[in-house]
Amino acid sequence: MIGPVVDSAALFVGGIVGTCCSGIIPKRIKETLPLIFGVITICMGASLVNKATALPVVVMALIIGSCSGEFFFAESFLARCIRALFRMARSKHYGNETYIVNIITLVSAFCFGSMGIFGAINEGITGDATILFTKAVLDLFSGIVFGTLFGISVSLIAIPQFAILALLYFSVNIIAPHMSPAVLGDFTSCGGVIFVATGLRMCGIKIFPVINMLPSMLIVVPLSALWLRWLG
């Protein structure tokens, strides 16, 4: 489970460095780096899409999963939960809607981003932590940039991030022996499409509801297994 540990540690350290160096990093760097992160994410996603064994399965999973997320207002529910936590903690920032919206965006990206979820699941299935190592590099520099803006709160996001990644890793580790290479290929391809959507969102090109797309990664597994059984 080295991937979740390295990723969360990188975010924690990045947030602290950013908090300490808030007056040093130039504004132009703060504006440029998120765009670079977005382009890298798009490239990673594009490289994963062609691993699909049955592309129709991936398409069906993305459509059904995204509709499910929209139906249950997954992204809106997350936003309400974070606002409730600020209220319960009696934070001085409660009522500062701009600050809360920014924190919601950061929590969504670091804790529920498709790259982290896919990376943890992928490591649990294959033992390959490459995706989470890559995310750790991105999170380190993202933590520095956002730490200059939002302080130590960025480092604290590493705590729920690690809990979520570890839970995903251990949960998937139980079902990994039952996943065939073909199912894993479709799962990887589905994650790649969501990667691309995440990158486009990070670049500000199009604000895809990435959180609402995440159920697709659960749906693609049984769909792929059924496809192989009846049509494979």
Q: Measure the CA–CA gap between 183 and 180, rounded to whole angstroms.
A: 5
Residue type, 181: P
* Span 132-141, pLDDT tens digits: 999 999 899 9
**Contact of 4 with 117, CB cutoff 8 Å:** no
**Contact of 183 with 224, CB cutoff 8 Å:** yes
Report how far apart, in Å, the C-alpha atoms of 91 and of each of 22, 31, 153, 161 are. Answer: 21, 28, 11, 20
Which residues, in sequence order, are CB contacts of 99 under 8 Å at separation 6+?
93, 150
SS (H, E, C) 68-125: HHHHCCHHHHHHHHHHHHHHHCCCCCCCCHHHHHHHHHHHHHHHHCHHHHHHHHHHHH
Which tokens sit at 116?
């982290």
Which residues, in sequence order, are CB contacts of 130 under 8 Å at separation 6+?
none
Angle (nearest 5°) at CA 101 between 115 and 46: 25
DSSP per-residue codes, 11-32: HHHHHHHHHHTTTTS-HHHHHH
H-helix or E-strand spanning residue 63: helix 55-71
**Tally of domains within the chain:** 1
Amino acid 91: pLDDT: 64
The whole domain housing 111 covers 2-21+28-230
Q: Measure the CA–CA gap between 211 and 226, rounded to whole angstroms.
A: 25
**Contact of 62 with 213, CB cutoff 8 Å:** yes
Q: What is the DSSP letter of 53?
A: S
Exposed / middle / buried, residue 166 (Cβ in 10 Å: 0-12, 13-18, 19+): middle
Q: Which residues of the chain have pLDDT under 50?
A: none
